[in-house]
Structure formats: structure tokens, C-alpha cells
């Protein structure tokens, strides 16, 4: 059964949970799951509530949803200085994938979507490499190859933006852009126009081992731990709010090829986890950090 969610953040105070639960109950909405967190350092309260309309009632329609949000704002959110984000089950969420020359993350993500492990619809796959076309064909998704050079970077990014904006402005909309090892730096204007809607994946060596071949650099330094980080893309390169991270131990017995293989496995699973958390409305951005209800 489709369920709705509301994500909440506000100053912590007594009675917040009771006010939220009472409102939903009085509106005939049945709470299925609730998770909360209080940050003792900032005194901020965070909450995720998943609910349905009860066994005998359909999910509220468009007009009722707008009314519920207005009434919640007046009765709960405004008196408690609260930000509340309702997420209604209107349709399957839609994602666009930007892929680079390494296709392991894109292939894994498309496979998870095709099997239903990630509940989403892929609108299109965009890449600056033709090799991603075979992958798109295999899974039956529209593909756009937009090569880029140093001199054509702004034009190529504008072409990408036009495709993504066409998805966003369509009746079905666009919920998320996934950078599946895209390996191109996006402009500040591009990321600023899509806050909290672009997820990136990279190795966890940053700020160490920047540039090309990070696993080769890590091997030369004899690292004992490698990992992957998935985060929201912002104007601060590779410094957006982190959603998910994974690590694996390595040793002197591992070759460069072993580090690359283990790193790719971590990148695949970490990106998929971040995408799932976002699509399930389990992430709240709070400044440079995230609150993740996992």
C-alpha cells in the first residue's frame, strides 16, 4: 500500500511528538513508523513519520492533501517554529543518471531499478562517452551522448541542463539526478539551481590522493583502509552533505588491482544506498550535515 511521509525539523521542546501524532490521528491518518533525533549540541529536533489513511479510507486526494498541509502549518508547524515537508505517494519517483567512462556504478544502479530493489523510474542516461549507450540500450532507457572538451564545457553543461529541465517540467517531474562516476566538475550555477537533488559518489580518500588514479596513490602510501562516500553535490567540490559511507580493510598483500576492485564494490553499494535513502525520504539536510533515518 502507498504511504505518505512528513519530515520535520525544529527547535527541541517538550510535546513536539505529541502535537504531531495528535494532528495526524485527528486527520484520520494512521502512523506506521516514526523515528526521531535530538541534537544535544544545537538543541534541534528532527523527525520522520510514515503514515497512511487507515484501512477503511483511501489516501487523501490532491485537495485534501493541500488542506492537511495548511492545517498542519497553522496548528503545529508555525507555533513550534517548525519546517515540515510532506511527501505524498503521487507516483513512482523519477531519476536521471549522468555516467562517465567507468560504468560500474551506473550498471549497478540500473540493475537495482530493473529488479525493483530501488523503486524508481529512469528518465534518461546522459554521458560524455559513447560506451554508456550500450548500457542504456540493455536496460531500455533513452541515451544522450554529449561529448565535452575544455572549450565546450559550458555548452555541454547547458545541453545537459536542458534535458534535465525538460524532465523536471514534464507532468511526471524529476526527483533526483545521480552522478554515477560522471567525472566532470559541474558549475556552481548548475548545482545551485538543483539543491538537494544531485547525488555524487567518490572514493573516501579526500582530501588525500586527489586527482587521477587515487587507488594507485593509496597503494603507494600503503593505506590499510579504503572506502566510498556518497553526498549531495554543491558548489563546494566534493564537500556536500554526506548521505552514506562504507569502508573496507586492505593490507600489504593487496595489489593496486585489488584496491580498485574493492573500491568499485564500495562505490556501487554506497551510491545505491544513498539513492534509496533519498527516494524513501529518509534524509534531512541540516547545514553541511545530514540527518539520515535509516
Q: Give the pLDDT confidence of 72-104 residue by residue, as tens digits.
A: 999 999 999 999 999 999 899 999 999 999 999
Asked if the model's pLDDT at residue 171 lies above 90, the reply is no
- What pLDDT is recorded for position 97? 98
Dihedral-angle region of residue 15 (phi above 0 means left; psi in -120 to 50 means alpha; beta otherwise) = left
Q: Give the pLDDT confidence of 177-213 residue by residue, as tens digits.
A: 999 999 899 999 999 999 999 999 998 887 788 777 8
Asked if the model's pLDDT at residue 242 lies above 80, the reply is yes
Query: For residue 250, what pLDDT band results from cuts at 50, 70 and 90?
Result: very high
- What pLDDT is recorded for position 236? 81
Among 12, 64, 238, 265, the one annotated catalytic: 238
Asked if the model's pLDDT at residue 166 lies above 90, the reply is yes
Domains of the chain: 4-87 (3.30.70.260), 94-292 (3.40.50.170)
238 counts as catalytic: yes
- What pLDDT is recorded for position 6? 98
Query: For residue 133, what pLDDT band results from cuts at 50, 70 and 90?
Result: very high
Taking residues 116-135, what's their average pLDDT?
Answer: 96
Residues 6+ apart with CB under 8 A from 125: 96, 97, 98, 99, 106, 110, 132, 135, 136, 141, 142, 143, 144
- What pLDDT is recorded for position 201? 95
Asked if the model's pLDDT at residue 238 lies above 90, the reply is no
Put simply, whether the predicted model's pTM sits higher than 0.75 gets the answer yes
Taking residues 272-287, what's their average pLDDT?
Answer: 97
Pair 240, 233: CB distance under 8 Å:
yes
Amino acid at each position: 500500500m502507498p504511504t505518505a511521509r512528513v519530515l520535520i525539523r525544529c527547535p527541541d521542546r517538550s510535546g513536539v511528538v505529541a502535537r504531531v501524532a495528535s494532528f495526524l490521528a485527528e486527520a484520520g491518518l494512521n502512523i506506521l513508523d516514526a523515528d526521531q533525533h535530538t541534537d544535544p549540541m544545537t538543541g534541534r529536533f528532527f523527525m520522520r513519520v510514515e503514515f497512511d489513511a487507515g484501512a477503511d479510507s483511501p489516501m487523501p486526494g490532491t485537495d485534501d492533501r493541500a488542506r492537511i498541509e495548511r492545517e498542519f502549518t497553522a496548528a503545529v508547524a508555525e507555533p513550534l517554529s517548525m519546517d515540515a515537508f510532506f511527501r505524498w505517494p503521487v507516483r513512482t519517483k523519477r531519476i536521471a543518471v549522468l555516467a562517465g567512462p567507468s560504468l560500474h556504478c551506473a550498471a549497478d544502479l540500473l540493475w537495482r531499478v530493473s529488479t525493483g530493489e530501488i523503486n524508481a523510474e529512469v528518465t534518461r542516461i546522459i554521458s560524455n562517452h559513447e560506451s554508456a549507450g550500450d548500457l542504456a540500450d540493455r536496460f531500455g532507457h533513452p541515451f544522450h551522448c554529449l561529448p565535452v572538451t575544455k572549450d565546450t564545457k559550458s555548452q555541454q553543461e547547458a545541453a545537459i541542463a536542458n534535458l534535465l529541465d525538460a524532465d523536471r517540467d514534464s507532468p511526471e517531474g524529476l526527483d533526483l539526478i545521480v552522478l554515477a562516476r560522471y567525472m566532470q566538475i559541474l558549475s556552481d550555477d548548475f548545482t545551485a539551481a538543483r539543491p538537494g537533488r544531485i547525488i555524487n559518489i567518490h572514493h573516501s580518500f579526500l582530501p588525500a590522493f586527489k586527482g587521477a588514479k587515487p587507488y594507485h596513490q593509496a597503494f603507494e602510501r600503503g593505506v590499510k583502509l579504503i572506502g566510498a562516500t556518497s553526498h549531495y553535490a554543491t558548489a563546494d567540490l566534493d564537500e556536500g552533505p554526506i548521505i552514506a559511507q562504507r569502508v573496507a580493510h586492505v593490507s600489504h598483500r593487496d595489489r593496486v588491482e585489488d584496491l580498485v576492485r574493492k573500491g568499485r564494490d564500495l562505490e556501487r553499494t554506497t551510491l545505491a544506498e544513498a539513492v534509496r535513502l533519498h527516494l524513501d525520504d529518509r534524509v534531512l539536510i541540516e547545514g553541511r550535515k545530514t540527518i539520515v533515518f535509516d
